[in-house]
Every structure is written in structure tokens, then in C-alpha cells.
Amino acid sequence: MEMLFKGTKAVSALTKTALACTTLCTVLLTSPVANALDVVIIIDTTGSTGALLPNWQARMQEEVIDQFRLADPHTRFSLASHLDFPFSPYGGTDEYAYRLDAQLDSNTEPFILALNNLDSGWGGDGPESQLEALYQVTTGHGRDLNNNGSFLDQGDISPTNTGFNDNSPSIVIHFTTPAVFHNEPFEPNYPYSGVINPPADFDSALTAMISKNVIYYQVEPNALPSIMGSEKTIMDHQMQQPLSVSLQQAKMAVAATPGERLAEATGGDVLHVGSDLSGLAEAIEDIVEDVRPCPAGQVPVYLPWATYCVPDHGDKE
């Protein structure tokens, strides 16, 4: 893939051209587009996926950041992570259900530093706090589980601010597996019996995402589980009661995972990147093609009064 901007020289030349030809540019360019892309990477660091952290650290710059910057050099990036609530059997006592590791910023140094400091954990059972993480990254409301007015008790989540620009397209790329999320369906005793302010369920997470115009992409290290292997997963984690699952029922359940439903509702997708992330570059390329602010061959120029798509001239003066 060819670089769209090579240094700031091309950016400056395009900006000067746009500033110098208001009438001509109105004719030649497309309509104004939204502001720069916001991309939030959420990484599930539990035992299911945490072993791949070194792969993420090695691939993030070239296969994720650089690809988005090809489509929009002003793309901002944020990093968040989750394990699960620190109560048995869901997670270890030192684990967390959500953490904002780096706010949205066009400067990726804090993002890369936070990524390199991530550690893998345990996570307890199969499902994790994916829905709570999605709710928190979009709202920043925090979670006071016992509703005592403090966010400092075990398992609480302090309020945060991801830094979304309400005028920008917002993309959440969520690396997690297996395809089962806690609180879908709602679990009244999650993460402990008697919880007063329970974690987000599917509907509250989706509502929060829609309010921020978030497009949701789940990336998984493995393909969907086989039908034979999925019966126990469905019975244990989705139905939560003994049930004889027919082959057809299993197929239907596997085809309607929480991640797929979130992706469908927000215009995103569920993509599989292989057990070693070897398919990550291709998956990110697909996402970029979905969300790029300008057609292929054009790049955005942000002016004080509007944003325009202009033909990409690379290094040409």
C-alpha cells in the first residue's frame, strides 16, 4: 500500500492549494467531511488473549496505526483494556473490569507506551467484562458497585474521559475471545450477590455506543467455535441452565454472538485474525476501507471553515 502523505511537506502543499483556490476547490473537491477519525483499541488481556500481547506490541505501529494514517493522517488513537471484575469466579483479586490506558490523541507515543506496559492476567471463567468495558469507554461514567458514593471500593471503576469528538467518526476495535460476554443475558448476581449498581448489560452498552456514533469491530484470534464444541459454551455461558441444544439451535446461537449483534447494530463487523495475529493487517485494511473519510485516491484537508477531500499527489509540489 502506497503512502498517502510522506512527511508534512505534502500536507502543507495541499493546505496552501486549498486556501488559495476557494472557488476552484469547491468545484474540484468533494463535499466537506467529518473531522479526523477516532480509533479506540480495547484489548482483553485475560488468559484467552493475553498471551498475544507481544504480537500486538510488535504489529501495532505498522499494521494498525500506519494503515489508519494512510487514510487520514490526523487519526487519533486511544487504548483501553479489561480483564473482569475482581471477584471469584470471574477474576483475580488484583484484576479489573475496565481501564483507560491512553486517551484519544494524535500523538501516539502515550498510546504505544501504554500498550508496551500491558500485562496478561487470568480472567476466571469464559465470559469477561466486555460489555462493561464498552459502556465505560463510551460514557466514562465509572461504576460504583455498592452505590456508596465512592469509586474506590474493590471492583469499582473510576470515571474517565476517553476524549471522543462528537463530530468525528468513532471506531472501537475490540480484541476479545471467546464470543460470550458477561451480562448477556443479564446476570443479577454478577459480579457478586447483592450488587446494587450492576455492570452494563447488552442494551445499556449498545445505547451508549450509539450515543457516541461508535462503529464496533470485534477482532478474534480464532474463528467461531465448531458446532460440536459450541454446545457446552452455549449451555454454560449463554443459556445458563441445563438444556438440550440441537445442531440447528447451536448454529443459530453461534451466528448471533453479542459481538456480532453489536457490530450489526453499529455498522461494524467481526473479523478473525488468526491465533498469532497473522491476519491483523488484512483485518485493519478492511476496517479502514469501511471507515475512511475520503474515497480511495483522496485525502482529507482540514481547514478552519470545513474539511475537504482532495486528490492525493504524494510528494508532488
Mean pLDDT of 97-105: 98
pLDDT of 32 strictly over 60: no
Please tell me the predicted confidence (pLDDT) of residue 115. 97
Q: Mean pLDDT, to the nearest integer, of 66-86?
A: 95
Q: What is the pLDDT of residue 314?
A: 64
Alpha helices in 104-195 (DSSP H): 109-116, 130-139
Q: Give yes or no for residue 120 having a pLDDT over 70.
A: yes
How far is it, in rounded angstroms, from Cα 118 to Cα 232? 31
Q: Which residues contact 298 (CB under 8 A, 6 or more apart)?
A: 30, 309, 310, 311, 312
H helix or E strand, kind and range, residue 264: helix 258-266
Residues 6+ apart with CB under 8 A from 54: none
pLDDT score, position 5: 36
pLDDT at 91 over 50: yes
| pLDDT number for residue 31 | 45
Q: Could you give the CA distance from residue 39 to residue 202 in angstroms, rounded to a whole number?
A: 21
Grid coordinates 453499529 are at which residue?
Answer: 266
Asked if residues 221 and 154 have their Cβ atoms less than 8 Å apart, the reply is: no
> Which among 25, 5, 8 has a CA at the least distance from the CA of 303?
25
pLDDT at 99: 98
Strands 170-175 and 99-105: unpaired
Confidence at residue 294, expressed as pLDDT on a 0 to 100 scale = 83
pLDDT at 63 over 70: yes
CA distance 168 to 43: 22
Flag whether pLDDT at 192 surpasses 70: yes
Cis peptide bond prior to 169, omega within 30° of 0 = no
For the cut 80, the answer to whether the pLDDT of residue 41 exceeds it is yes
Q: What pLDDT score was predicted for residue 293? A: 81
pLDDT at site 8? 42
pLDDT computed for residue 33 by the predictor: 53
Q: Which of 117, 237, 110 minimizes the C-alpha distance to 163? A: 110
Mean pLDDT of all residues in 226-245: 37
pLDDT band at 258 (very low <50, low <70, confident <90, very high): very high
Between CA 111 and CA 119, with CA 113 as vertex, the angle to 5 degrees is 105
> Which is nearest to 175 in space by CA: 128, 232, 141?
128
The contacts of residue 107 (CB under 8 Å, 6+ apart) are none
Binning pLDDT at 50, 70 and 90, where does residue 309 land?
A: confident
Most confidently modeled of 19-33, 135-149, 233-247, 289-303?
A: 135-149
29-38, 209-218, 235-244: least confident range: 235-244
All three cell numbers of 295, joined, read 474515497
If pLDDT is split at 50, 70 and 90, which confidence band does 2 have?
very low
**The one-letter amino acid at 86:** P
| Averaged pLDDT score across all residues of the chain | 82
Name 255's Cβ contacts closer than 8 Å, sequence gap at least 6: none
Rounded percentage of the chain residues whose pLDDT exceeds 70: 76
Q: Going by C-beta distance under 8 Å and a sequence separation of 6 or more, which residues neighbour residue 174?
A: 42, 44, 130, 133, 134, 216, 217, 218, 219, 259
